[in-house]
Amino acid sequence: MSAIKKVIIPVAGYGTRFLPATKAQPKEMLPVVDKPILQYIVEEAVASGVEDIILVTSATKRAVEDHFDHSTELEAWLKKQGKTEALNEIKKIAELANFVFLRQKGPYGNGTPILNARHLIGDEPFAVIWGDEPIFSTTPRLKQLIDVYDKYQGPVVTGYEVDDEGTNKYGIIKSHLLHGNVYQVDDIVEKPGPQAAPSRLASLGGYILTPDIFDLLATTTPGRGGEIWLVDAIAKLRKTRTVYACKIEGTYYDLGSKLGWLEANVALGLEHPDLAEPFRQFLKTII
């Protein structure tokens, strides 16, 4: 049995790339077909054996807390109307895991929400997934990372194969192959471009981290934008222990972008048991 039972999911960002849609609605709650983006992330974690979901939120993210809680009035109304299937569906959401909601405090940057949850993690290894980066796969992305951690007992980052354009968008992993889809990380080069990229293996959201990352985050000097970045702490971590990359199998859509969100809706819509065929016919009429 794996030791990874807790995941931190930062969801405190502004979602500026989706304005004006995200002026009052968290980007993590935008739907992909019929579920919010964040629900896909939570379901992935639960399917990977995680029991405690720590959501690091902000004052503008009350919808996140409400979604993963029971809705007494709605449940009563659905029961009265005899809408049993819908009732069971929404009740199941609140019962997926143990949810902890924590307000982000401190400087911006994706390292801060992780440091905020330190008291909830203690001395355990734990997972981190960004709230807008699901990866759709047969074996959950997080389970693939956990399997690598269980074998090597060290921090693991997500590796995902990208094209030349991807080298302009993501941190690129410099590494050497250990076995199968597992690499030892030598460096992560931020958006190097195709000419300077050491590989085509991008570092995406999704990590298994050990508790020694907290002291490193606490002493990390603010980087670009005056913010605390997890990748900077991982760079320091590599000096004291081996960090691994798992080249995961699955499909990634950048749901933090409008194009990626549209792509995901089309792809998953074409797989939906009730919508696939009429949706396919509709697409034929406009293409």
Q: Report domain extents, the chain.
A: 6-286
- Record the pTM: 0.93
Burial class (CB in 10 A: 0-12, 13-18, 19+), 146: buried
Query: Which among 39, 52, 68 is positioned nearest to 4, based on CA atoms?
Result: 52
Q: Mean pLDDT throughout 123-150?
A: 94
3-state secondary structure of 154: coil
In this prediction, residue 1 has a pLDDT band, given cuts at 50, 70 and 90, of low
pLDDT digits (tens, 9 = 90+) for 235-276: 899 999 999 999 999 999 988 889 999 999 999 999 999 999
3-state secondary structure of 280: helix
DSSP 175-193: EEEEETTEEEEEEEEES--
- Rounded distance between C-alpha atoms, residue 227 and residue 141, angstroms: 27
User: What angle is formed at CA 152 by the lines to CA 147 and CA 153, rounded to 5 degrees?
Assistant: 90
Query: Which among 53, 40, 48 is positioned nearest to 156, based on CA atoms?
Result: 48
Q: Which fold has domain 6-286?
A: Spore Coat Polysaccharide Biosynthesis Protein SpsA; Chain A (3.90.550)
| Token code pair at residue 192 | 């190097």
Beta carbons of 127 and 4 less than 8 angstroms apart: yes
pLDDT at 147: 95
pLDDT at 266: 96
pLDDT digits (tens, 9 = 90+) for 203-244: 988 999 999 999 999 988 877 777 788 888 998 999 999 999
Q: How many CB atoms lie within 10 A of CB 69?
A: 12
Q: What percent of the chain has pLDDT over 70?
A: 100
Burial class (CB in 10 A: 0-12, 13-18, 19+), 49: middle
Whether the per-residue pLDDT at 106 is higher than 80: the answer is no
